[in-house]
Amino acid sequence: MALKLVIIGGGSSYTPEIIEGIIQRQDTFPVNEIVLVDIEPGKHKLETIGYLGKRMIHQANANIKLSWTLNRKEALVNANFIATQIRVGGLKARAIDERIPLKHGFIGQETNGAGGIMKAFRTIPVLMEIAKDVQEICPDAWIINFTNPAGIVTEALLNYSRHEKVIGVCNIPFNTQHSTAELLNAKPEEVQIEFIGLNHFIFGKKILVDGENRTEEVFDRLINREANYTPANIMPLNWSRTFIQSTKLLPNPYHQYYFQTETVLQKDLHAYKENGTRAEVVQQLEESLFDLYQQPELNIKPKELEKRGGAFYSKVACSLMDSIYNNKNDIQTVNTHNHGTITDLPNDAVIEANCVITKGGPKPISIGKIPAPVKGMIQNMKAMEELTIQAALSGKYEDAYNAFVMNPLIQDEKKAKVLLDELLEAHKSFLPQFKL
Amino acid sequence: MALKLVIIGGGSSYTPEIIEGIIQRQDTFPVNEIVLVDIEPGKHKLETIGYLGKRMIHQANANIKLSWTLNRKEALVNANFIATQIRVGGLKARAIDERIPLKHGFIGQETNGAGGIMKAFRTIPVLMEIAKDVQEICPDAWIINFTNPAGIVTEALLNYSRHEKVIGVCNIPFNTQHSTAELLNAKPEEVQIEFIGLNHFIFGKKILVDGENRTEEVFDRLINREANYTPANIMPLNWSRTFIQSTKLLPNPYHQYYFQTETVLQKDLHAYKENGTRAEVVQQLEESLFDLYQQPELNIKPKELEKRGGAFYSKVACSLMDSIYNNKNDIQTVNTHNHGTITDLPNDAVIEANCVITKGGPKPISIGKIPAPVKGMIQNMKAMEELTIQAALSGKYEDAYNAFVMNPLIQDEKKAKVLLDELLEAHKSFLPQFKL
Amino acid sequence: MALKLVIIGGGSSYTPEIIEGIIQRQDTFPVNEIVLVDIEPGKHKLETIGYLGKRMIHQANANIKLSWTLNRKEALVNANFIATQIRVGGLKARAIDERIPLKHGFIGQETNGAGGIMKAFRTIPVLMEIAKDVQEICPDAWIINFTNPAGIVTEALLNYSRHEKVIGVCNIPFNTQHSTAELLNAKPEEVQIEFIGLNHFIFGKKILVDGENRTEEVFDRLINREANYTPANIMPLNWSRTFIQSTKLLPNPYHQYYFQTETVLQKDLHAYKENGTRAEVVQQLEESLFDLYQQPELNIKPKELEKRGGAFYSKVACSLMDSIYNNKNDIQTVNTHNHGTITDLPNDAVIEANCVITKGGPKPISIGKIPAPVKGMIQNMKAMEELTIQAALSGKYEDAYNAFVMNPLIQDEKKAKVLLDELLEAHKSFLPQFKL
Amino acid sequence: MALKLVIIGGGSSYTPEIIEGIIQRQDTFPVNEIVLVDIEPGKHKLETIGYLGKRMIHQANANIKLSWTLNRKEALVNANFIATQIRVGGLKARAIDERIPLKHGFIGQETNGAGGIMKAFRTIPVLMEIAKDVQEICPDAWIINFTNPAGIVTEALLNYSRHEKVIGVCNIPFNTQHSTAELLNAKPEEVQIEFIGLNHFIFGKKILVDGENRTEEVFDRLINREANYTPANIMPLNWSRTFIQSTKLLPNPYHQYYFQTETVLQKDLHAYKENGTRAEVVQQLEESLFDLYQQPELNIKPKELEKRGGAFYSKVACSLMDSIYNNKNDIQTVNTHNHGTITDLPNDAVIEANCVITKGGPKPISIGKIPAPVKGMIQNMKAMEELTIQAALSGKYEDAYNAFVMNPLIQDEKKAKVLLDELLEAHKSFLPQFKL
């Protein structure tokens, strides 16, 4: 039986990871065709990845046909899964998202604050087009969206495209599970975390090892880390004892932007002065990665890739596709419709939740109320996300302004306009919906 | 490690089934102590079951200590699981629940209509006492409630007792899964049904075999059964093609009371004239079962037990306890708090839903909206259940009347009173909360 | 300034009442143009009413231009208010709605049960067309809908037509206020009743006289009426003491269909044998009314009209239009969107609620939860109404069946089909949306 | 008939305004007894106000008995209305609420941010005691709460005291109505504003003059004010055109704290350097007011009082009591339970909403959804208020910290602790519930 995966944004430096994942899962998830799709400006990178992918498959002696193309519609024919990992405007656009806010004294970051909103504005229309193609060409296929801001993008697709088989994934739940396991000297697969919230804004409510509640222990160890504990590399490092003891929740690294705003801003400003934007740092990393990828003797995913922040994304995606394909009914944390799972959020909101993964897609496990300490913040973030989607689709200046001014990292009615105007101008070639 | 099960209502004729279940699961769910508890009037039956249980354990060479007692509080010390399967007032009370409504032209049935409400009135106060004892003596233990009306009783305990670890079980989801499997020539474990609703009022929304949606096929086969299909013994037999085609839902046998009321009433009246109440028929069955149980050579659960309507209850309960104990994260259909699972019902309503079964209890899988065709009926039933619980706890005549008059099987403002008065009088020794 | 009222179904026997109302309110609500609209088969009645109207206006020396036409679109030009009081299929269709259910042992009634559903099926598509015309021709005009089933029709228009200025009215709240005033020897304008529910399914929760809570007194007098009280002519007569004492709610006459079903059915069957359907009785009333209307010396609304059941409808409608026109901010009970007013019903449900009447339309006063005793029944009715609207718009047999089988007056899965089939056939000329 | 008003915090400089209001309304709202209550440290001011009040009543020739006492319980006997206008800790505590946040770079303000939370911590326990007394001594009396933060305090009383007759009032809706009237050259009584939100966080959604929607005109005039318009003295001055055009909402002055945070902070820091805290400025104002009040020839409310920011509070309160007493059914904007009025907030939240004022209290007019641009912010504020109430009642450090860190004006997980620690220490004599 044919099983076909299409990777949109196939020229991404992360693609070898997903190819590796497919190769490793041949026995249970027998993908036998992979098509990498990209756009003209990414053609060279696409080819590089394509040839590397072929060498990897050959080396693994896997029965997978790999090809690449700039023709998305052709690629989609008979697809079963579509992974979307695009970056509209490339790292140059990211650099703008980072630099302009910093210039005005705001955090510049690609998925939060002004930068995250702008990324959504650039990305959502393109993914709406992709979803339209999928709906027409391969309506039974699942879109597995990694593209950031993943939660916002997934909500846009689920609520405004006609394609219903869309799942958003992020590596934060996976990383939190793994670093918590490390903290507890447990195996990752034994650790289950009851998450609550939104993509990049989830908290861990309960940490279980083989079903035993060990939340207190995790909190104690995090709180007392100063003395004698070396935390896992991804674990949040800087949370005050009081924050964890009072909220009784496990934060994730992105919460630093909201609850340690001034500290992060100063750090980012310093880093910017030293090294330029994170986008520019990444640009160099990317270039050396592609140098590596072109080496004809390379036929596995190189270790160097793990240094990129998005590591394990592909692992998460492969694991998800495997569970769908095999109706595994295991539990994974993905972005899907709320539908009552969290009673304090709208039913059509997309949340990041623990789901039973079935052939029919993710079925979220009921959560109930948001813990009181973070209820308002999560509701606020979701409302801001809705404003962002609204603006990305309407292209109206007022809608864009509303998203900006209501973002907790901006929230200044005059500076919101200054920021927005400058960002709209800088990105205008990628924002056709805004009549600029 | 000690693992102790207490069976309240241990003198029930069903107890051998649960003992058998425990014996069969020794490897994975190593119960090593069972205490059967009953009340003075059931002392003789308790002993009979006790001795049979001992013979069964001996025959199976199992490492289980079995004892019996009339002292509930003592029995509860160090309990891990408590199965509750009591019948306040015994089959005599059931006969009254059946006979009086029939006399007035209403369906008399032990879990629906006037009879079901009266059973709740008798049962809830007793189970509240049990839950209080459990909370004081073994607060970490799970109460697995089989006592009917199971959904109503479970809601009363979860919302009004201080003990939170309460789960209600019923054999209907299990039986539906098995008979659907038979219909599709599939193995029961391959069949998953997306249920929606309340205990004795659940519908099957989707039938999946290994994750493949085969709902249409099930409907077609049910609809066309007249011609060439011999349906499974438990499967609903009499639904019209139109009902299934229009609601697009799989009903369960209890729905006959509501959607085939007149037919069922006539059938019941006829059966009553022929054989007396179902309670009386069951009384005879019970007596012959206990004759059998007393035979010293009997050392297994006798086949004859399966003829009793509640077969597989114990299977369901053992399977549930096993999954809790082992944190299996498998999916079972049990009665638990709604908490947003069904968005059209109150958060604190108890629903019968597919749940992931963990060491921390059942975690329901989000459902969202009730399908339009049955939304109103399910909301109506739930509201009636709330009135029933209210009255069972308050002992107020008005509350009892409200439950009666709003029950879809009664709903006549004058006859409701006649029925209620007669039933309250007939049951008064078991209704101390009503000052009669 | 011009103020124009269009009466659709202007040939109705009720029209003189509304003309009278307009004449009486000349000072505060200065309508200076009335256009009566009807369809070809009603042409003769339309003329009769037209000439009577002219005589009434002349007699009152009022400055109102009255005309009549079969051309609805022309009539709507520059309209400010549109009153809709149509009867698709006329009294003949009503006779069918009454006769066929009775034949099968069900209540046959024009706004409840099978008859009410069929009336909705015939009426909704026509009113959707009217709303479409209004939206195109006079988009600022208010539609004041009297057409039954008024709540269902209003919900259909508010949720599925593009015209948002739609209000449904009924005389039950008005009549209840007046008969309660009579009961308390108070003036109607001093009496305020806190209503909860749906059109034809509202209950009075609290009765206030000049703000003083006199609910208990009303209940006491209703309960003790047998002895020494002659109730008002519209007040519900037959409620048992227990029903009122337990629900602590004031029912309305339509509740008899649901809570005294068997009694009402027998009474209706008896009346049918004696006099034929109510439609036929009304037909004769109508004929003698029109004989009267044709008398050239008649120049006021004749007293005989008050014998028709719908009396005071027009009073309610005039009072509503007056308050809108004058932004009175007084409180009237009308049918409008829920929007959270009742927290146990969907936001987009139409409810019958106490509203502040402003130039911008009715603003409902928050109610909160439905009283527990009737929560389920009201939710059930609303869900059934949604199914009815669904079917009226889709014309699908399954949708129609769902509405029938879930109606509390039908609810038999097999007889629902028999009833539906016979009614669809009998009415087919007025049900083009059903492909029969 | 006796009509008795008790003013708790009767020694406040605002009391002459409320006495004036009572005198002016003698005809319609015939209060014939006023008792001023205060505590020992306010004894001198209480007497001053008492004697002034007596002179005012004498001058007006009004039939009102005025007295004062330190014995609250005695004062409450037979009370009909209780106005609560206390300041726990006095202006000294306010100075602390202002100074400490400013010191750490946060806005210091008595009803918002850290200061507002601390005021709630000091105030809620005292008002809970007052409500307890009222419930015991005069359970039918209405508490009209002016004490800030009025919305939070009212929610605490409505949800956690047993007294249900509590209404919170604020002068912002009144002032907005009046300044909007000025802007439109309309009379205040012709202007109605559809408000949405919470105390100190309401927005105007629609501005109507005699029912005509003039929202756009108000926005245009506000937006174009720079050129040719001198706005009313209370109208928000500094909103950018874009903010109003995009949100399509009328903000109130308190929104400056949230959407112009940096500007306001700088202004406040500057003012602080010049004149000390606002509390200290007010302290001087108060002293000269009391000098004035002591002048034996003063027998009316002096004009100077209007300079205090809380002007018109008493007008609002008198108008409210008058409408309750007379069951006026007019519309006023007060703080009361949500109960579905705003569908995006919890049912038991206290909101500031347009209400019909009846003898039975305020009945809010349904609003439905919060406008998208401010939904998240309003939800966030409400959640923060809930945390504040939780902490005020529990006296737990963690709860207090949660309120601080989730307040949009604080939100820094480390500085939240610094601020909280310093404020708890500074206020400890007024925070017995915190075991410090």
Contact flag A329-B331 (C-beta cutoff 8 Å): yes
Residue A256 sits at the chain D interface (C-beta within 8 Å) = no
DSSP C274-334: HH--HHHHHHHHHHHHHHHHT-TT--S--GGGGGSTTTTHHHHHHHHHHHHHTT--EEEEE
Alpha helix positions (H), D164-277:
172-184, 215-223, 225-228, 241-247, 256-259, 261-275
Whether the CB-CB separation of B166 and B124 falls below 8 Å is answered with: no
Residue C412 sits at the chain B interface (C-beta within 8 Å) = yes
Q: What is the DSSP letter of C250?
A: B
Q: What percent of chain B has pLDDT over 70?
A: 96
- More confident site: C312 or A419: A419
Counting every residue written for chain D, the total comes to 436
pLDDT tier at A277, thresholds 50, 70, 90: confident
pLDDT in tens, D49-102: 999 999 999 999 999 999 999 999 999 999 999 999 999 999 999 999 999 999
Phi then psi for residue D410, to 5 deg, are -120, -80
Q: Enter the tokens of residue A163.
A: 């394609």
Residue D272 has a pLDDT of 93
Catalytic site residue from B51, B229, B254, B313:
B254
Whether the CB-CB separation of A197 and A351 falls below 8 Å is answered with: yes
Contact flag D380-A377 (C-beta cutoff 8 Å): yes
Counting every residue written for chain A, the total comes to 436
CB-based burial, D369-380: b 16+ in 10 Å, e otherwise: ebbbbbbbbbbb
Least CB–CB distance from B380: residue in C261, C376, C416:
C376
CA C421/CA C419 separation, integer angstroms: 6
pLDDT in tens, B115-173: 999 999 999 999 999 999 999 999 999 999 999 999 999 999 999 999 999 999 999 99
Contact flag B242-C406 (C-beta cutoff 8 Å): no
CA A125/CA B326 separation, integer angstroms: 47
Active site residues of D: 254
Counting every residue written for chain C, the total comes to 436
CA A109/CA C265 separation, integer angstroms: 71
Whether the CB-CB separation of D318 and D29 falls below 8 Å is answered with: yes
Residue A310 has a pLDDT of 63
SS3 state of residue D309: coil
CA angle at C310 for the pair C307 and C316, rounded to the nearest 5°: 120
pLDDT tier at A237, thresholds 50, 70, 90: low
pLDDT in tens, D205-229: 999 999 999 999 999 888 776 433 3
Whether residue C149 is preceded by a cis peptide bond, meaning omega within 30 degrees of 0, is yes
CB-based burial, B249-280: b 16+ in 10 Å, e otherwise: bbbbbbbbbbbbbeebbeebeeebeeeebbbb
Q: Work out the average pLDDT over C142-169.
A: 97
CA C40/CA C46 separation, integer angstroms: 9
Q: How far is CA D370 from CA C356, D236, D358, D406, in A?
A: 20, 21, 26, 21
- For C360, the closest chain D residue by CA position comes to D211
Residue B239 has a pLDDT of 85
Assess whether pLDDT exceeds 50 at residue C227: no
Shortest CA gap C337–chain D (Å)? 10
Residue C373 sits at the chain B interface (C-beta within 8 Å) = yes
Q: Name the average pLDDT for chain C.
A: 93
Q: Work out the average pLDDT over D415-429.
A: 97
Whether the CB-CB separation of B203 and B252 falls below 8 Å is answered with: yes
Helix (H) or strand (E) holding C393: helix C372-394
- For C389, the closest chain B residue by CA position comes to B372
Phi then psi for residue C346, to 5 deg, are -60, 150
Q: Which chain D residues are Cβ-neighbours of A260 within 8 angstroms? A: 412-414
Whether the CB-CB separation of B149 and B111 falls below 8 Å is answered with: yes
Residue A309 has a pLDDT of 63
Shortest CA gap C258–chain B (Å)? 7
Contact flag D383-A375 (C-beta cutoff 8 Å): yes
Residue D242 sits at the chain A interface (C-beta within 8 Å) = yes
Assess whether pLDDT exceeds 90 at residue C131: yes
CB-based burial, D32-48: b 16+ in 10 Å, e otherwise: ebbbbbbeeebeebbeb
Q: Enter the tokens of residue B118.
A: 């009266």
DSSP C119-160: HHHHHHHHHHHHHHHHHHH-TTPEEEE--SSHHHHHHHHHHH
**Chains A+C touching (3+ CB pairs under 8 Å):** no
Q: How far is CA B126 from CA B96, B314, D257, in A?
A: 19, 21, 57
Q: Enter the tokens of residue B129.
A: 């006492």
Least CB–CB distance from C356: residue in D206, D212, D365:
D365
Q: Work out the average pLDDT over C259-286.
A: 91
Q: What CATH homologous superfamily does B4-90+103-168 map to?
A: NAD(P)-binding Rossmann-like Domain (3.40.50.720)
Least CB–CB distance from C376: residue in B246, B397, B406:
B406
What's the Rg (C-alpha) of chain C?
Answer: 21
pLDDT tier at B227, thresholds 50, 70, 90: very low
Residue C197: strand pairing partners: C202
What does pTM read for this prediction? Answer: 0.96
- Amino acid at site D254: Y
Helix (H) or strand (E) holding C223: helix C215-223
Residue D225 has a pLDDT of 64
Least CB–CB distance from C329: residue in D331, D343, D366:
D331
Residue B310 has a pLDDT of 63
pLDDT tier at A313, thresholds 50, 70, 90: confident
Among 3.40.50.720, 3.40.50.300, 3.20.20.70, 3.30.70.141, name the CATH number for the domain at D4-168.
Answer: 3.40.50.720
Q: Which chain A residues are Cβ-neighbours of B164 within 8 angstroms? A: none
Q: Which chain C residues are Cβ-neighbours of D346 within 8 angstroms? A: none
- Residues B407/B411/B416/B420 CA torsion (nearest 10 deg): -10
Helix (H) or strand (E) holding B57: helix B43-60
Q: Work out the average pLDDT over D244-253.
A: 94
Residue D426 has a pLDDT of 97
Residue B221 has a pLDDT of 85
Angle between helices A397-406 and D372-394 (to 10 degrees): 10
pLDDT tier at D234, thresholds 50, 70, 90: very low
Shortest CA gap B334–chain C (Å)? 23
Residue A228 has a pLDDT of 38
Residue C189 sits at the chain D interface (C-beta within 8 Å) = no
Angle between helices A113-137 and A90-103 (to 10 degrees): 150
pLDDT in tens, B180-224: 998 899 999 999 999 999 999 999 999 999 999 999 999 988 877
How many C-beta atoms lie closer than 10 Å to residue A287's C-beta? Answer: 11
Q: How far is CA A90 from CA A103, D37, D410, in A?
A: 21, 70, 35
Query: Where are the strands (E) in C100-252, listed by range?
Result: 142-145, 166-168, 191-198, 201-209, 212-213
pLDDT tier at A223, thresholds 50, 70, 90: confident
């089989």: which residue's tokens? Answer: B146
CA A255/CA A239 separation, integer angstroms: 10
Residue C234 has a pLDDT of 40
pLDDT tier at C158, thresholds 50, 70, 90: very high
Residue C212 sits at the chain D interface (C-beta within 8 Å) = yes
CA D199/CA D346 separation, integer angstroms: 15
Q: What is the DSSP letter of B70?
A: S
Q: Enter the tokens of residue A322.
A: 């495997």
Q: Name the average pLDDT for chain D.
A: 93
Query: Where are the strands (E) in B210-258, listed by range?
Result: 212-213
Contact flag D372-A402 (C-beta cutoff 8 Å): yes
- Amino acid at site B322: D
CA B339/CA A366 separation, integer angstroms: 7
Catalytic site residue from C254, C258, C313, C401:
C254
Q: Where along chain B do its domains lie?
A: 4-90+103-168
pLDDT tier at D420, thresholds 50, 70, 90: very high
Q: What is the DSSP letter of A141?
A: P
ipTM of the complex, rounded to two decimals: 0.95
- For D243, the closest chain A residue by CA position comes to A413
Residue B122 sits at the chain C interface (C-beta within 8 Å) = no
Residue D210 sits at the chain C interface (C-beta within 8 Å) = yes
Least CB–CB distance from D356: residue in C210, C356, C360:
C356
CA-based nearest residue to D103, from D237, D320, D272, D280: D272
